[in-house]
Amino acid sequence: MTLRLITSPPIFPRFTCHATALPPSPQISTPTSISSTPQPPSLTCALHCSHFQSCSGCTHEHNLHHPVILDDAMNFFRRFGVTDFTFDSCNLWGWRCRAKLAVRGSSANPLIGLYEEGTHNVVDIPECKAHHPNINAAVELLRQGITELDVEPFLEDEGTGYLRYVQMAVTTHNTSLPAAQRYMSGKVQVTLVWNSRNETSPGSDKLNSLANFLWKKGGPRSRLHLIHSVWANFQTSDKNIIFGNRWRHLLGERDFWEHVGGIDVSLAPSSFGQANTRAFDALLQKLQKYVPYESSVTDLYAGAGVIGLSLAATRKSIKCIEINKESKVSFEKTVERLPATVDSSITWHHADASKDPFSWLVGSDVVVIDPPRKGLDTSLIEALKNISSVARKVLSSYESSNNVQEEKRPWILRANEASVHIKSKSPEENVPQLVPQTLIYISCGWESFKEDCKSLLSNNAWYLEKAHAFNFFPGTQRYTNVVTGSH
Ligand SMILES: C[S@@+](CC[C@H](N)C(=O)[O-])C[C@H]1O[C@@H](n2cnc3c(N)ncnc32)[C@H](O)[C@@H]1O
């Protein structure tokens, strides 16, 4: 079996940096092999952000093109036999197209930003250099609205006030503009996280006034036109959780479309979305090379299925597994917009990938895993390590009984109930191909990835083949790896 691990790590020499205080226009970078020669500190690739000392968002001010952990990554992969590790430095500024910001302070002086490291003090970051410029513009509009309409930000200690957080997501999918202008003209989907139970609770008049303010001043009829839509999320919990379960679309287009990996993807505000749209697009393009045509793919930790669906055109089947049921609607909408020529069998299952993981792995040639930062659950690691022996047992029982057993496991029954199935028109083969030959690990947490990877490589369960990194989070010690491996 092969383990292909995809991470978005820091990148090396061939890139362009500009010393400028403003996020420069989009840069295209080329992935390059990484040399172990120490890099001189680069002032031209510096953050130049006035919030750097106080905001916890960025941890590194210099050499944005070369995260410090890149050296560790390079050594790690070399030790395991990967000699052509590459790093794509991507865009160094203005890359963040999705931000969740806390709102505190007062209506006269609202603070909209991130917590100061280790505290619950919110730091205002109006000139954030990581944000897409239109996120900063929408934050300014929101600030004006809060003050003019006297909207009280949330007061954590008292549990009073209304506006707790705001999520800003930028869509750059505007086909009426020339491609070169689309990114910088991105429109912002704003979600106001409101401290009340629902839209009829006290305070809803303020919520509607604030939404109308944003729409009037930033919607399609305004001079600025930077707002795509306004949503509300209702959250009264005293726990440290950003979103509640109730979402309401208030104004603008309900559907939010982005174009990545060659397909149109729908992303509801409640679904996971990658923060760095352009780096994600580069990663998806790379992925196309590693997933054989006509293979059967399992996409674990799938979110709205963007990775799996971007592969669907030339693969036999795509099976997506995701724990957040809110992602299902976005998945279905994306499937509806796939080209009519796509004839793969496509499914999405609402399930926990760590519960009975074998049931999701068997029958696939390729498994793509894209877990949260904490990495893989032990049960999944064990399943991936033992997949060959278990598959043999399953195959022999399949051959001896050759009849379909009734499924009784409650979590599988539940997942099947909440699943989406789009059948291929081509005839299906009866005997499943049982053992995944390729594992592709997409990771955004370097430390957890290293541990998972070592575990997967132990006892020669998998071998490393390729590793590429993408600078998903310039200014931080995080990047994303794509690593591929085989049995
Ligand atoms: C890093 S995101 C990747 C999402 C998706 N691959 C994408 O690129 O848009 C991780 C996803 O894993 C989901 N998740 C977390 N724990 C999970 C679990 N135990 N089983 C299945 N999905 C899980 C999260 O809800 C989230 O959508």
> What distances in angstroms separate CA 59 from CA 47, 54, 67, one per listed residue?
10, 10, 10
CATH of 276-486 among 3.40.50.80, 3.30.450.20, 3.40.50.150, 3.50.50.60: 3.40.50.150
Q: What letter does residue 146 receive in the DSSP assignment?
A: H
Say how many Å lie between the CA of residue 463 and the centre of ligand 1: 24
Ligand 1 atom nearest to CA at 304: 9
Which CATH architecture is the domain 98-260 placed in? Beta Barrel (2.40)
Q: Which residues of 214-249 are buried (b: 16+ CB within 10 A; e: fewer)?
A: bbebbbeeeeeebbbbbbbbbbeeeeeebbbebebb
Q: Confirm whether 98-260 and 276-486 share one CATH topology.
A: no
> What distances in angstroms separate CA 291 from CA 218, 316, 332, 484, one per listed residue?
42, 11, 23, 10
Amino acid at site 336: E
Q: Whose CA is nearest to atom 6 of ligand 1?
A: 302
Say how many Å lie between the CA of residue 370 and the centre of ligand 1: 7
Burial of 324 by CB count in 10 Å (0-12 exposed, 13-18 middle, 19+ buried)? middle
> What distances in angstroms separate CA 187 from CA 219, 227, 277, 369, one per listed residue?
9, 5, 13, 30
Distance between CA atoms of residues 475 and 90, nearest Å: 12
Distance between CA atoms of residues 5 and 268, nearest Å: 28
Say how many Å lie between the CA of residue 299 and the centre of ligand 1: 10
* Number of other CB atoms surrounding residue 487 within 10 Å: 16
Q: Which residues form the catalytic set?
A: 444
The binding site for S-adenosyl-L-methionine comprises 274, 301, 322, 370
**Is the Cα dihedral 63, 185, 265, 333 positive or negative?**
positive
* Number of other CB atoms surrounding residue 177 within 10 Å: 13
Q: Is the distance from CB of 471 to CB of 283 less than 8 angstroms? A: no
* Ligand 1 pocket by Cβ (under 6 Å): 272, 274, 301-303, 306-307, 321-324, 352-354, 370-372
Q: Is the distance from CB of 372 to CB of 443 less than 8 angstroms? A: no
Distance between CA atoms of residues 278 and 131, nearest Å: 13
Domain boundaries along the sequence of the chain: 98-260, 276-486
* Residue located via tokens 């900063």: 136
* Number of other CB atoms surrounding residue 422 within 10 Å: 17
The binding site comprises 274, 301, 322, 370
The per-residue pLDDT string of the chain (487 residues; one tens digit each, 9 = 90 and over) reads 556 655 543 333 233 333 223 334 434 355 666 555 555 556 689 999 999 989 999 999 999 999 988 999 999 999 999 999 999 999 999 999 999 999 999 999 999 999 998 898 999 999 999 999 999 999 999 999 999 999 999 999 999 999 999 999 999 999 999 999 999 999 999 999 999 999 999 999 999 999 999 999 999 999 989 999 999 999 999 888 999 999 999 999 999 999 999 999 999 999 999 999 999 999 999 999 999 999 999 999 999 999 999 999 999 999 999 999 999 999 999 999 999 999 999 999 999 999 999 999 999 999 999 999 999 999 999 999 998 777 666 666 656 655 556 667 776 777 676 788 877 666 555 545 568 999 999 999 999 999 999 999 998 999 999 999 999 999 988 878 788 877 7
Which of 8, 241, 258, 272 best tests ligand 1's pocket when mutated (most atoms within 8 Å of CB)?
A: 272
List Cβ neighbours of 271 (8 Å cut-off, separation of 6 or more): 303, 304, 324, 326, 327, 329, 330
Question: Taking CA 253 as the corner, what is the angle to CA 251 and CA 254, rounded to the nearest 5 degrees?
Answer: 85
Distance between CA atoms of residues 348 and 329, nearest Å: 10
Select from 475, 415, 466 the least CA-distant residue to 442.
466
Q: Is the distance from CB of 33 to CB of 12 less than 8 angstroms? A: yes
Q: Whose CA is nearest to atom 4 of ligand 1?
A: 303
Half-sphere exposure of 175 (CA within 13 A, CB side): 4
Crossing angle (nearest 10°) for helices 69-79 and 446-457: 10
- Describe the chain by its helix, strand, coil percentages, rounded to 5: 25, 25, 50
Ligand 1 atom nearest to CA at 352: 20
Which of 266, 323, 348, 478 best tests ligand 1's pocket when mutated (most atoms within 8 Å of CB)?
A: 323
Which of 256, 283, 322 best tests ligand 1's pocket when mutated (most atoms within 8 Å of CB)?
A: 322
Say how many Å lie between the CA of residue 275 and the centre of ligand 1: 14
